[in-house]
Amino acid sequence: MPLRIDLGPFEKLYIGKSVLTNNGDRTMFILDGTSPILRARDILTADQAINPVEKLYRCLQQMYLEEDTRTYRPSYKAFLAQAVAEYPDHDDDLTRADQCVLSGRFYEGLKALKRLINPEAFQSNHVEAAGSTRGPAGLRAGDDGSQRSSYRLALLQLAALQYFTSFANLPPFILQVPTGQLPALPPCICWLRDCCANA
């Protein structure tokens, strides 16, 4: 079945071992055939793959694009074993991805693995500090989620501060006023507040 592709300016599309780069205009075209295809936003380079799950994804990505299971199979098995050992909480997700691979559904396996990877890893300008141990789903090894909660709270405070000082002409100390005494919050701030409450 033909696949409709819509590429933004300078967006890349990986077709097997080839890379198609769009020019400065948005382009839509129809692709027919059985070649493996990935958008640039789904590509991990060797430098971007840091933890075992990312390395597993990178290995499967190359296996898929190059259509070369034989070359990558040993590395794939090693990365899979390492990922299962280091992230036992994600055993079900890793097993599901592996079942896709065993049945030849490499693209579905990649989608399953991508859900475990921090989206930052796919950014082309992503730089990670040496010795980093970024874990799946955006958590670093040993992180219990408290760092995420603190980050969300900081975002809420910043958004509220910007809202009250910029739009309502209120001084920054308004954040120290009990919640019941604050004016009604706009929907975007309420949404952010609810996200923090559920962190």
The predicted pLDDT at position 186 comes to 56
Q: How far apart are CA 197 and CA 191, in angstroms?
A: 10
Q: Whole-structure pTM over 0.85, yes or no?
A: no
Selected residue with higher pLDDT from 82 and 187: 82
User: Over the stretch 64-99, which tens digit does the pLDDT of each residue have?
Assistant: 999 999 999 999 999 999 999 999 999 999 999 999
C-alpha angle 13-15-17 in degrees, rounded to nearest 5 = 120
Q: How far apart are CA 56 and CA 74, in angstroms?
A: 11
Residues 6+ apart with CB under 8 A from 95: none
User: Over the stretch 12-24, which tens digit does the pLDDT of each residue have?
Assistant: 999 999 999 988 8
Confidence of residue 137 (pLDDT cuts 50, 70, 90): low
Whether the CB-CB separation of 136 and 116 falls below 8 Å is answered with yes
- Tell me the domain boundaries of the chain: 1-41, 43-143, 146-197
